[in-house]
Structure 1
């Protein structure tokens, strides 16, 4: 997760919410169960049954062990969810920040972030609701903020942009997966089989036709944008959203923001 060109940073201390987590168990011939195996089993259950169907009992059944055996490796379901999210970043690395290519680097970050969340069912929900910063992910967060600050963005904007981009990725993938699940339910299929189901395109076309049918005199904007507001290309919609964010950030660069105050505190009347 660290920049390959930079020195390897010292491991940060455990975060306050991790201090109660059991230490990693030593793997031996007598200890077949491990934290890694628990996480892998949990991801298998998640993909099969979704977040609402994920339980410690289901994970234990997947491993063929008792529920109590899991607690030697994770302290709670929330702890397990954090570990599942952290697993997504194994092997992930951000490039050396390049102020001349910062927009391209952030496009790549957004694209890989979306792919990461789509790699397992309901991972966007876990990211938004269950995954605070952990010591394992702090180097990744540090490198991401480095891309923003090296670009020349003011510190206040860089700090807000980090949360904005992450929230956009989470929210887009959450909506994207909910759309697929609705299409799957309509077709009587599993959600994981609905990513390319024609009903997804059919639902988009149905909404486009409805907006186009609205009286133009009453709904001039919906009528005019009917063919653009809902499209069947998630890749295209995601990319346009990223571009909107990038253009907004670019307006805060020193040469673009000359003579304009960078917001620091809310204005009061």
Structure 2
């Protein structure tokens, strides 16, 4: 190489080369923070880590912001949990009360409530800790009471029935969530609504009950084939039906039960 060639200056980058380099370093525009984004991030953390692992710090990390930035949209973790619970009711509405179909309407309400709580991990625990008497949820309470009162239930029973149904739903889904967590701890993904290896466990329990001494456990032996169900859906619906038949016994008419309504 000659000295002349060695001293030849390197040409500057062309304009289009400079533009290409600049584009490779552009930082993507971050979506502005909002209450909706905070709630969605909280659901993501909840599904991944459960209620015990949900914290404002974890939600902030999910969004890539500081914890202090969240407080422009939620006042506390309890406020965030309430917003999450309220979000489950978006798009849900009870039908106009029909006294001829009140049992079916309550059945549908219970099934929808179970589906809501199962849509995210540990929502039954959150539900149990938050009374539904916020401005957003009061219309749902009002609509459920309307079904009971329009059906003809005495006021005392109608007043208790909503809490009874909600407590049953919460407790049932809480148990389901415990089994899902157990499945995850034993190597499953915890996503199935059925109990892990429940069929085998149910069979073992039936055999055990059937083998008990008849003199001491006649009823467990007699019900051994029925006392354990393979299907969570079936168990849930049976429980709802027991509640509905109990409520129906308070309706005015022949054979109706009295006493409690006036207690």
Q: Same fold (TM over 0.5)?
A: yes
Residue 183 of structure 2 is matched in structure 1 by 183
Q: List gaps (5 residues or longer) in structure 1.
A: 1-28
Runs of 5+ consecutive residues of structure 2 not aligned to the other structure: 1-28
Distance 1:121 1:212 in 2: 36
Stretch moving more, 30-39 or 105-114: 30-39
Structure with higher RCO (Cα < 8 A, 6+ apart): 1
**Match of residue 52 from structure 1:** 52
> May I ask how many residue pairs the two structures share in their alignment?
235
Matching residue within 201, 212, 215 for 2:213: 215
TM, length-normalised to structure 1? 0.82
1:129 alignment partner in structure 2: 129
- Does the Cα contact within 8 Å between 2:56 and 2:67 map onto a contact in 1? yes
Contact 2:132 2:138 in 1 (8 A): no
Where 1:228 maps in the other structure, the secondary structure is: coil
Cα distance in structure 1, aligned partners of 2:234 and 2:132: 30
In terms of Rg, which structure is larger?
Answer: 2
Mapped partners of 1:84, 1:182: distance in 2: 24
Shift of 1:203: 2.5
Question: 1:254 & 1:119 partners in 2: Cα distance?
Answer: 38
Deviation of 1:179 after TM superposition, in Å, equals 2.2
Residues 13-68 of structure 1 deviation map (CA, whole Å, 9 limit, x = unaligned): xxxxxxxxxxxxxxxx9981111111111011111111111111111111111111
Q: 2: distance between equivalents of 1:241 and 1:224?
A: 20
Q: CA RMSD in A?
A: 2.0
Alignment of 1:1-269 (within 5 A): 32-185=32-185, 187-192=186-191, 194-196=192-194, 199-256=197-254, 260-265=258-263
How big is each residue's C-alpha offset from its partner over 1:138-173, in whole Å with a ceiling of 9 and x where there is no partner? 111111111111101011100000110111111111
Q: Distance in 1 between matches of 2:228 and 2:217?
A: 16
Q: Which residue of 1 aligns with 2:10?
A: none
Shift of 1:261: 3.0
After TM superposition, the score normalised by the length of structure 2 is 0.83
Q: Structure 1: how far apart are the matches of 2:93 and 2:59? A: 29
**Contact 1:81/1:126 (<8 A) preserved:** yes
Counterparts in 2 of 1:259 and 1:248: CA distance versus 1, 3 Å: closer
Q: Which runs of 4+ in 1 moved over 6 A?
A: none
